[in-house]
Structure 1
């Protein structure tokens, strides 16, 4: 029995949304499992299980120096040769934003998949960039596939691609609400009812699907404390400072990426950048990886002022070095870590005048504000950190005000530079 178009089209759209959420969740789960498996094999920890209570930071710290050097330098070889060969022989890559734009071009499946896998492999081997772009790309690819298979209109297809990308983020970090907000705030720039519902459904399904293999753990362990009376004042004052830092972060990382040459320089520069990272890791095992380790130290008040200052400076050096070399990856978790470490330094200065307060709370709120400004997504950033840490309600007001000050400052500085 056939149905009128007006009755079947909503059903087709719903099927497309549900299937995109499922495929994005499956892709995020598999990519995370590949990441953990390579980490365990490369650094020699938790060899008997894929999902382990032992952290990557602990695994790197416990690895002997020769193994640590070999793993990270191998990451440089994979990054340099992999992306150079992909750029030379693969089809031209289409970014998520380009796929969602009004002049949308389909994402090539082979190039997109290899690009995602290269990110996962290099992050597993110590790249200081984030792993979140890979599942977003695979989720967007799934959205485009479902849109073509079910014959959706152009605007509906772009919405589904954006929902798939947000669902990929939701899957890999178990952040369903942040994934939906990312779709709406960053990719679609729209909060219409239809798009909002599609974003929520895809992200919720993707996050649930991924938990079947990854479990339901939060990304960071954080014990919400009692906020000091001066904490809200710090959040308001620190916001513009963190916004200026985020502006500098955006400027320098963008400049590093703009210098990449798709020729012989890529393998050579990547090898040099990862070799630098490998040598520095002998003294600072917190540097390899996307930054989750040092951010966890900051949240649990397990790092002092001097060590935080060294990590902040060196983290920026290695991030810029690998970006200049041509390695790809996200800046979400690295940005959160840079913001958290910078907030610790600001916290120490603040406490000279206003003693008291849990240091981890400063890192949490400041990291969220820095992330909000560096990626220009205030609602997503605060929600993301909320889901990352399961922070309690008391943190919302300072986090939102700090994020607002940071985003406004960053935007003003960017406008003055144009």
Structure 2
């Protein structure tokens, strides 16, 4: 991570050739923050909070219409429907993904709608109509059971709205890039109730800048968006944690697991890069999601945990409710299902699928470890989740804070998390691995 630059740019347009992995190579320029810019930061936080809330309402509506889901565990709703229902539901989601892509392109015209591409290649520019349409399509198919993350939609909507208000206000490129990143972080912060984690994700993974000048707007936007979302979205932790006692066993486990988690993250990122590189184009993008999603639905006949973003998988590992054979199967199938869905051309996120992969790894390794040196099962899962997430995002500080906010567990797990994350990130960087965000950048 690079530190912030000392000199302000005002409204100027300092140019730098974009890097393949900006949070490892060169930070973006940080502009001077005027009163007008701070007004835009507040507006960005409010808009991101409202957009995130609306998108989550759409997601829950899609889940209710597809599985009669109302609240609580999405997995419970999936398990209550028959095997044929799961296959048909995912086939329908594939049809929606393909047909929706055609409608979005027909309505908005050609153009990109990736936050990473906008920040690192397109000077923070995002087409508003296309971005919002893609965000809506993304949450609908996730609500229908697609094995993709839900965070892509609020990130995209927040970034696009921020970029548009920046253009309306006549701000320059450096301001637009910073504000779009703040909008993306705020969008994620509000739907997961992680204001600090959303801000750190903005700085570490999207901007590569850890400086006071960049931190203040990121924190403000994420906090404002989170407060706005409290009107309708849950305010508690995403995951319920049992009581965890710090032990020497858990600390040593974290040290040992870290490098292995780094290797898993490297494989995961490379799988995502491969899937993204082979995404279909043209008319194939309309039909490709149907067989890909149907295949995931067929796998869900035996493993209903595969449906959705993976939140319930993480909770099951925290509660130690998965046997070793199921852990092995899900550890193999969940990344494949997510990469296959993404590779078919569908729009979706990778945050919770990455957390789920790490939790499965930690829980599986912890079951074996506990035979020789017992420790709390939930601790194994959280350590694995944080380590894989940090290495996959190339954002160790953000990953630790995100896991602490998602679980509301701070004091007990801090040392094991830091140890595991350090080992995982060192291995992934040694192998010159990009983040899950830059791995999806278009090749030049």
Partners of 1:66 and 1:150 lie apart in 2 by: 52
Aligned position for 2:97? 79
Displacement of 1:102 in angstroms is: 7.2
1:394 match: secondary structure = coil
Contact 2:280 2:288 (C-alpha < 8 Å) held by counterparts: no
After TM superposition, the structure 1 stretch with the greater mean CA deviation from structure 2, 61-70 or 308-317, is: 61-70
Aligned length in residues: 403
Contact 2:190 2:226 (C-alpha < 8 Å) held by counterparts: yes
1:343 match: secondary structure = helix
Displacement of 1:339 in angstroms is: 0.8
**Selected match of 2:165 from 146, 152, 156:** 146
**Selected match of 2:418 from 394, 397, 400:** 400
Q: Show CA shifts across 1:143-165 (max 9, x none).
A: 11221222223212221111111
The structure whose residues are more often helix, as a share, is 1
**Selected match of 1:39 from 59, 63, 72:** 63
Question: Does residue 116 of the first structure (1) align with residue 140 of the second (2)?
Answer: no
Contact 1:87 1:262 (C-alpha < 8 Å) held by counterparts: no
Aligned position for 1:26? 50
- Counterpart mapping for 1:201-212 below 5 A: 201-212=220-231
Contact 1:297 1:303 (C-alpha < 8 Å) held by counterparts: yes
After TM superposition, the structure 1 stretch with the greater mean CA deviation from structure 2, 77-86 or 398-407, is: 77-86
After TM superposition, the structure 1 stretch with the greater mean CA deviation from structure 2, 280-289 or 98-107, is: 98-107
Contact 2:269 2:433 (C-alpha < 8 Å) held by counterparts: no
Q: Tell me, which stretches of 5 or more residues in structure 2 are unaligned?
A: 1-9, 12-32, 435-444
TM-score relative to the length of structure 1: 0.92
Aligned position for 1:310? 329
Question: Does residue 260 of the first structure (1) align with residue 279 of the second (2)?
Answer: yes
Aligned position for 2:369? 350
Question: Does residue 57 of the first structure (1) align with residue 75 of the second (2)?
Answer: yes
Partners of 1:251 and 1:86 lie apart in 2 by: 29
**Selected match of 2:346 from 292, 313, 327:** 327
What is the alpha-carbon root mean square deviation over aligned residues? Answer: 2.0
Displacement of 1:296 in angstroms is: 0.5
Q: Show CA shifts across 1:341-378 (max 9, x none).
A: 01112112322332x11111100111111011111111
Q: Show CA shifts across 1:370-402 (max 9, x none).
A: 011111111111111111110131201110110
Cα separation, partners in 2 of 1:399 and 1:370, compared to 1, 3 Å: same
Aligned position for 1:271? 290
Contact 1:61 1:285 (C-alpha < 8 Å) held by counterparts: yes
TM-score relative to the length of structure 2: 0.87
2:235 match: secondary structure = coil
Partners of 1:153 and 1:272 lie apart in 2 by: 44
Q: Show CA shifts across 1:120-140 (max 9, x none).
A: 111111111101011011111
Displacement of 1:188 in angstroms is: 1.6
Contact 2:309 2:353 (C-alpha < 8 Å) held by counterparts: yes
**Selected match of 2:35 from 2, 7, 11:** 11
Aligned position for 1:229? 248
Q: Tell me, which stretches of 5 or more residues in structure 1 are unaligned?
A: 47-51
Displacement of 1:308 in angstroms is: 1.0
Contact 1:25 1:205 (C-alpha < 8 Å) held by counterparts: yes
Cα separation, partners in 2 of 1:218 and 1:105, compared to 1, 3 Å: closer
